[in-house]
Structure 1
Amino acid sequence: MFKVTWKDGNTELMDFDTEEGRAAFRHTASHILAQAVKRLYPEVKLAIGPSIDNGFYYDFDSDMSFSPEVLQNIEEEMGKIVKEAIPLERIVLPRDEAIALMEERNEPYKLEMIRDLPEGEEITFFKQGEFIDLCAGPHLTSTEKVKAFKLTGTAGAYWRGSEKNKMLKRIYGTSFPKKSELEEYLTRVEEAKLRDHNKLGRELEMFTTVDYIGQGLPILMPKGAKVIQLLQRFVEDEEERRGYQLTKTPLMAKNDLYKISGHWDHYREGMFVIGNTEKEDGEVFALRPMTCPFQFQVYLAKQRSYRDLPMRFNETSTLFRNESSGEMHGLIRVRQFTISEGHIACTPDQLEQEFADCIDLANFMLRTVGLDDDVSYRFSKWDPNNKEKYIGTEQQWEEVQNRMRQILDHLGLEYKEEEGEAAFYGPKLDIQIKNVHGKEDTLITVQIDFQLSEKFGMQYVDSDGQKKFPYVIHRTSIGCYERTLALLIEKYAGALPAWLAPVQVKILPLVDKQHAYAAEIKKALQRQGIRAEVDLRNEKVGYKIREAQMEKVPYMLVVGAKEEENKTVSVRARKQGDLGVLTLEDFAARIMEEIKNKDK
């Protein structure tokens, strides 16, 4: 237990096991880091230093390189600060005094933050010894409790996340109350590095990137493309079984379309715009960031009746989003991606069942691929203090959010509510997942849209003869395929289940004389839809087996003179090892059953 000082100056005993306790503990560690840096390198300018899920960071403006040797020096100075047991004192200053203090200390980033605060806002600092930082807290009351810490890396970060601002230098770290907890965490981090899709996916030849093509634009290599093709076929077939109708729509449109939908006013910064916006007579196009306004045109192609509803449209959609360069990471966050997108037009009475069916489909997909144990649910709401980000009235938002909360409660889902994460046209349920490094991203969304049907004039004739606007549910069933591939590589450490493995069987002839028999086996397996390759290299079979295991191939078939004579194969499984000698028919039946059941 440790004492924490809150923004209002009150103190409270807290535990590291709570989310609030960890945040205060690690926020204090970030201040210890900043104090150590200022002691060693007084010319460095301070930016910001929050706690994050697995630790903390601090951003600095400095011309020096934070090399491993420099980080080691900083860690040693942090250790001294902890041993000094320096108390953290909360200070409140009037605006003019706060500005004068930061001017005196020559901290331009802190000055900018103070000047951006509304007039009358309380300005708080936390002081520890000679170090003082603009900060609302919370913090521990002393540095002495931060017994175990480690600086884990560095990165570049734009000031306030904008590419228009200066690139700062970020130092990452983590901290724990006990050294044993830190060592356990660092062990997990090292294991995570071995599973990192950004490293492993390249080693397994799933994808690559090329600087002169661009950041966030990965090249899917044959193996990665095959996995995504398998997922797409599986998803489209399942969606068809559930009553969806497939569409194929353009990758771009004139900005007229996005003006109707509201994307032009509320999402333009995230879009790739094509054309001259300055020319009055020039057409301006934009690559699509989502498919909804295109699929709405299918609905609008003719008059609809309540008897037509619900209408479910699905599409394997390629989308484009102008993500900032600092957000790019392997296949997790990219600028061009493919998504299992769908939209449902339904009556108010059908809304709850359709929403529930969307969640059922998403959970079915997650269970099948083996990602269901790693997800959480987030009810993403609008921010009533930032209304200009959204369309619709406060009354409409509250009404639809209450309806969505009721649906989620009826389904018995455990979820957390988050303000400010809604789409500009409606609230959503985000199915969240963490990568191996603990960073959380959204994998699947189900959104209730109560406004765009009216903007596009999507009416239906109800049973009472009146024209009405349907609700629209925006949903994905397995989310972004590239992100899903990344998470699968990390989940299985590259050893994908047989039904998803790009190469399911590797045939390993002992000598050249068995090449023809190996080719015969390959053809026989391929006729049954089994993905097989032959390793014809002039290498020892032990080497070939090790190579196949490194490539994470589920099954290896070793064939020599005896196997050729008896028309058999010697089977090695990635999981179970040596399975002995089987007829080709028995082996094929075994793997076909595994593929059919989508065994994990």
Structure 2
Amino acid sequence: MSTVPELRITLDGSERVVAAGSTAGQVLGADGRTVVAARVGGELRDLAYEVRDGEVVEPVEIGSPEGRAIMRHSAAHVLAQAVQDLFPDARLGIGPPVENGFYYDFDVAEPFTPDDLKRIEKRMREIVKQGQRFSRRVVSDEDAREELASEPYKLELIGLKGGGQVEDAADGAGVEVGAGELTIYDNLDAKSGDLRWKDLCRGPHVPTTRVIPAFKLMRSGGAYWRGSEKNPQLQRIYGTAWESRERQDEYLKLLEEAEKRDHRRLGAELDLFSFPNEIGSGLAVFHPKGGVVRRVMEDYSRRRHEEAGYEFVNTPHITKGTLYEVSGHLGWYKDDMFPPMEVDGGDYYLKPMNCPMHNLIYRARGRSYRELPLRLFEFGSVYRFEKSGVVHGLTRVRGMTQDDAHIYCTREQMIDELKGLLTFVLDLLRDYGLDQFYLELSTRDDSDKFIGSHEDWAEATAALKEAADASGLELVDDPGGAAFYGPKISVQARDAIGRTWQLSTIQVDFNQPRRFELEYQAADGSRQQPVMIHRALFGSIERFFGVLLEHYAGAMPPWLAPVQAVGIPIGDAHVPHLEKVAARLRERGVRVEVDSSADRMQKKIRNAQKQKIPYMLLAGDDDVARDAVSFRYRNGEQKNGVPIDEAVEEIVKAVEARIQI
């Protein structure tokens, strides 16, 4: 009597006995719609994967981060199949999942048009409806080259296999690096099993194309192959995909709201800033109203830093290249720096960061333990050579002003300093109206880009983690995301519509003090090396300005609004009365204007609403007679006959309290 061989696996924390040859989908009882893949021994696998003795099997649901990524990766394959169905000469680049969606790159003769995208999306829906099956197979390098002979970019990826470059080259999409093998995914006809399309890919994928419940193509644009301007420019099609039509509708509504809040559009509408072509990409100029907001942001931050014991410094915009040789930035950061300029026979660089210059300030004279912690602060202008494809309004610029601080302390002071610093950072961000945070801890991995001993890194990482834990906020790990000289905590803030922005960073650095030979005299007379803590609170003034503008949808709270109140007369005869009110407000520090233009009153109100001014003070004959004004708020509410003294106090109180109306 024959028996079926059995395997022992772990499922739901308990050992199970299953028949040999069982797939992950079978042992999970997966329907292929809710559970779309499996995690086996920590690795993501297709449901068709045959489990092995002793393996731990876990379900991956479509609504989980991993499940969404797998489903979006499958949608990228459907997109590529649809493109090659409609454009047979299109050559394939790569097609990974990304946050909230996916993309695929194509080498085509002409850029895709909006009508092309409609045709492609229609074809995708036909493929999804067919329920084509994703089928994985391992191939040799030789076979892969033969099968994909007409795909030059895939052949390049095959050539990179084993060279340690594939993940960077293809965003992880293409070659199964960890297993040391190449895999191709076939799209098979649901009924006949005939091949419909194939792609070099490491997977995993959803079982069939039907398990892509909701998707939409968003836009297309140019993208250089493997992100290098030296390579051909391909056409990239972006899409979004979700586990349900309801979730996709929510996301699309969020995009609509985000478009309304786009700081680039608001900056133009509110006359805050611009990016003149004559100056160059990523280099902003702030107009008078934007200059007011920026000054108020900086002034408040400066005052809070003074109260917290920071000392202000100032450093130049350019420096000899030797400074960045000492710091290590020329070796690790040169690609992000502007090219050097030759001065007096030597190379000078635009300053990409302030820390090396602050080290020179520390080193300018002997230091005692009695001076520590020494907190140096600067609104320092820096310049970074961001690629043209990533420059984006104020949130990704080439010239920026960092609110940069460097704290020098003893190792004994380090943990308390980090705890106090994190509290200071979070409190100040709350003052600007952000109040939902989580933290990200970026550490080193086995890459050779990191300098310094593992012991120093372990101590620095442990100190940051202790400070993060003390904050009570959620802490997310980011392995390999540290700066080359030390680990960091990043404050991630959620805005009014739930988007996450990386803002403040706090980094612990044992390496810069060593490279610059920084010392202090300890209590016992010995010379000791200080710990250096890097801290950017806003990240940059420009970026934080853009974040706040989108968070408030341009309706800045009264204390930050460029114009806090505007007087709107019903007729010319009422202008002097409002000028008297404006003078009272200016005496109290309120930024106020009186609209004495020839426009009708209703148009003046509409103009003030478009400019998102917090307070409109209206005046007619009755208001003049009663020495009063009529209050009209930004939200459309109105309060009539308010005595001038009360009106002034209400506005001043709101400005001083930093409240939103």
Taking structure 1 as the reference length, what is the TM-score of the superposition? Answer: 0.95
Q: In structure 2, what is the equivalent of residue 128 of structure 1?
A: 187
Q: In structure 1, what is the equivalent of residue 51 of structure 2?
A: none
The amino acid across from 2:388 in the alignment is S
C-alpha distance in structure 1 between counterparts of 2:250 and 2:303, whole Å: 44
Q: CA deviation at 1:516?
A: 2.7
Q: Deviations over 1:472-497 (max 9, x none)?
A: 00002232111111111111111110
C-alpha distance in structure 1 between counterparts of 2:498 and 2:333, whole Å: 28
C-alpha distance in structure 2 between counterparts of 1:168 and 1:533, whole Å: 51
C-alpha distance in structure 1 between counterparts of 2:45 and 2:606, whole Å: 62
Q: In structure 1, what is the equivalent of residue 264 of structure 2?
A: 198
Q: Which moved more, 1:213-222 or 1:309-318?
A: 213-222
Contact 2:404 2:535 in 1 (8 A): yes
Q: Deviations over 1:77-131 (max 9, x none)?
A: 001111110110111111222222221xx11111111111216821122211322
The amino acid across from 1:56 in the alignment is F
1:528 to 581, 588, 608: 588
The amino acid across from 2:394 in the alignment is L
- Give secondary structure in 2 for the equivalent of 1:401: helix
Q: In structure 1, what is the equivalent of residue 193 of structure 2?
A: none
Q: In structure 2, what is the equivalent of residue 157 of structure 1?
A: 223
Contact 1:306 1:461 in 2 (8 A): yes
Q: In structure 1, what is the equivalent of residue 345 of structure 2?
A: 282
Contact 1:344 1:472 in 2 (8 A): yes
Greater relative contact order, per chain length (Cα 8 Å cut-off, separation 6+)? 1
Contact 1:432 1:443 in 2 (8 A): yes
C-alpha distance in structure 2 between counterparts of 1:195 and 1:177, whole Å: 26
Residue 437 and residue 143 in structure 1: after superposition, are their counterparts in 2 closer, same or farther (change >3 A)?
farther
1:447 to 491, 507, 512: 507
Over alpha carbons, which structure has the higher Rg?
Answer: 2
Q: CA deviation at 1:8?
A: 7.0
Q: In structure 2, what is the equivalent of residue 51 of structure 1?
A: 97
2:560 to 494, 500, 509: 500
Q: In structure 1, what is the equivalent of residue 551 of structure 2?
A: 491
Q: CA deviation at 1:10?
A: 4.9
The structure richer in helix per residue is 1
Contact 1:5 1:141 in 2 (8 A): no
1:92 to 115, 138, 155: 138
Q: Which moved more, 1:72-81 or 1:577-586?
A: 577-586
Q: CA deviation at 1:262?
A: 0.7
Structure 1 gaps of 5+ residues are: none
Q: Which moved more, 1:126-135 or 1:435-444?
A: 435-444
Q: Which moved more, 1:200-209 or 1:519-528?
A: 519-528
| 1:25 lines up with 2:25 in the alignment | no
Q: In structure 2, what is the equivalent of residue 340 of structure 1?
A: 403
Q: In structure 2, what is the equivalent of residue 112 of structure 1?
A: 156
Q: CA deviation at 1:236?
A: 0.7
Q: CA deviation at 1:439?
A: 7.2
Contact 2:354 2:380 in 1 (8 A): yes
Q: Deviations over 1:519-540 (max 9, x none)?
A: 3332222121100112122122
C-alpha distance in structure 1 between counterparts of 2:430 and 2:451, whole Å: 35
| 1:181 lines up with 2:247 in the alignment | yes
Residue 9 and residue 584 in structure 1: after superposition, are their counterparts in 2 closer, same or farther (change >3 A)?
closer
Contact 1:195 1:436 in 2 (8 A): no
- Give secondary structure in 2 for the equivalent of 1:422: coil
1:424 to 473, 477, 484: 484
1:2 to 28, 35, 47: 35
Instruction: Report matched runs for 1:343-422 at 5 Å.
Output: 343-373=406-436, 375-384=437-446, 386-387=447-448, 389-422=449-482
Q: In structure 2, what is the equivalent of residue 63 of structure 1?
A: 109
Q: In structure 1, what is the equivalent of residue 392 of structure 2?
A: 329
C-alpha distance in structure 2 between counterparts of 1:491 and 1:440, whole Å: 11
Instruction: Report matched runs for 1:465-480 at 5 Å.
Output: 465-480=525-540
C-alpha distance in structure 1 between counterparts of 2:348 and 2:501, whole Å: 29
Residue 411 and residue 436 in structure 1: after superposition, are their counterparts in 2 closer, same or farther (change >3 A)?
closer
Contact 2:615 2:632 in 1 (8 A): yes
Q: Once the two structures are aligned, what percentage of the paired residues are identical?
A: 38
Residue 438 and residue 588 in structure 1: after superposition, are their counterparts in 2 closer, same or farther (change >3 A)?
closer
Q: Deviations over 1:217-254 (max 9, x none)?
A: 12212222211111100011001100000001111110
Residue 413 and residue 8 in structure 1: after superposition, are their counterparts in 2 closer, same or farther (change >3 A)?
closer
Q: Which moved more, 1:336-345 or 1:479-488?
A: 479-488
- Give secondary structure in 2 for the equivalent of 1:326: coil
C-alpha distance in structure 2 between counterparts of 1:202 and 1:135, whole Å: 44
Q: Deviations over 1:457-486 (max 9, x none)?
A: 110011121101000000022321111111
Q: Deviations over 1:565-590 (max 9, x none)?
A: 33221111113610222222211111
Contact 1:446 1:473 in 2 (8 A): yes
Q: CA deviation at 1:147?
A: 2.4
Q: In structure 2, what is the equivalent of residue 101 of structure 1?
A: 147
The amino acid across from 2:77 in the alignment is H
Q: Which moved more, 1:513-522 or 1:23-32?
A: 513-522
Contact 1:163 1:324 in 2 (8 A): no
Q: Which moved more, 1:91-100 or 1:70-79?
A: 91-100
Q: CA deviation at 1:317?
A: 1.2
Instruction: Report matched runs for 1:290-329 at 5 Å.
Output: 290-329=353-392
Residue 461 and residue 408 in structure 1: after superposition, are their counterparts in 2 closer, same or farther (change >3 A)?
same
Structure 2 gaps of 5+ residues are: 1-33, 48-57, 164-178, 189-195
Residue 263 and residue 519 in structure 1: after superposition, are their counterparts in 2 closer, same or farther (change >3 A)?
same
Residue 266 and residue 439 in structure 1: after superposition, are their counterparts in 2 closer, same or farther (change >3 A)?
farther
Residue 365 and residue 266 in structure 1: after superposition, are their counterparts in 2 closer, same or farther (change >3 A)?
same
Residue 164 and residue 440 in structure 1: after superposition, are their counterparts in 2 closer, same or farther (change >3 A)?
farther
Instruction: Report matched runs for 1:553-572 at 5 Å.
Output: 553-572=613-632
Q: Which moved more, 1:27-36 or 1:118-127?
A: 118-127
C-alpha distance in structure 2 between counterparts of 1:17 and 1:8, whole Å: 15
The amino acid across from 2:62 in the alignment is F
Residue 34 and residue 5 in structure 1: after superposition, are their counterparts in 2 closer, same or farther (change >3 A)?
farther
Contact 1:448 1:472 in 2 (8 A): yes
Q: Deviations over 1:538-558 (max 9, x none)?
A: 122111111111110000011
Q: CA deviation at 1:9?
A: 4.8
C-alpha distance in structure 2 between counterparts of 1:32 and 1:434, whole Å: 33
Instruction: Report matched runs for 1:221-240 at 5 Å.
Output: 221-240=287-306
State the Cα RMSD in Å: 1.9
C-alpha distance in structure 2 between counterparts of 1:170 and 1:498, whole Å: 43
The amino acid across from 1:469 in the alignment is Q
Q: In structure 1, what is the equivalent of residue 16 of structure 2?
A: none
Q: CA deviation at 1:435?
A: 7.2
Instruction: Report matched runs for 1:240-279 at 5 Å.
Output: 240-276=306-342
| 1:590 lines up with 2:634 in the alignment | no
Q: CA deviation at 1:293?
A: 1.0
Q: In structure 1, what is the equivalent of residue 23 of structure 2?
A: none
| 1:16 lines up with 2:76 in the alignment | no
Taking structure 2 as the reference length, what is the TM-score of the superposition? Answer: 0.86
Contact 1:192 1:436 in 2 (8 A): no
- Give secondary structure in 1 for the equivalent of 2:112: coil
The amino acid across from 1:305 in the alignment is S
Q: In structure 2, what is the equivalent of residue 577 of structure 1?
A: 637
C-alpha distance in structure 1 between counterparts of 2:631 and 2:502, whole Å: 40
C-alpha distance in structure 1 between counterparts of 2:497 and 2:221, whole Å: 15
C-alpha distance in structure 2 between counterparts of 1:197 and 1:463, whole Å: 52
Contact 2:469 2:475 in 1 (8 A): no
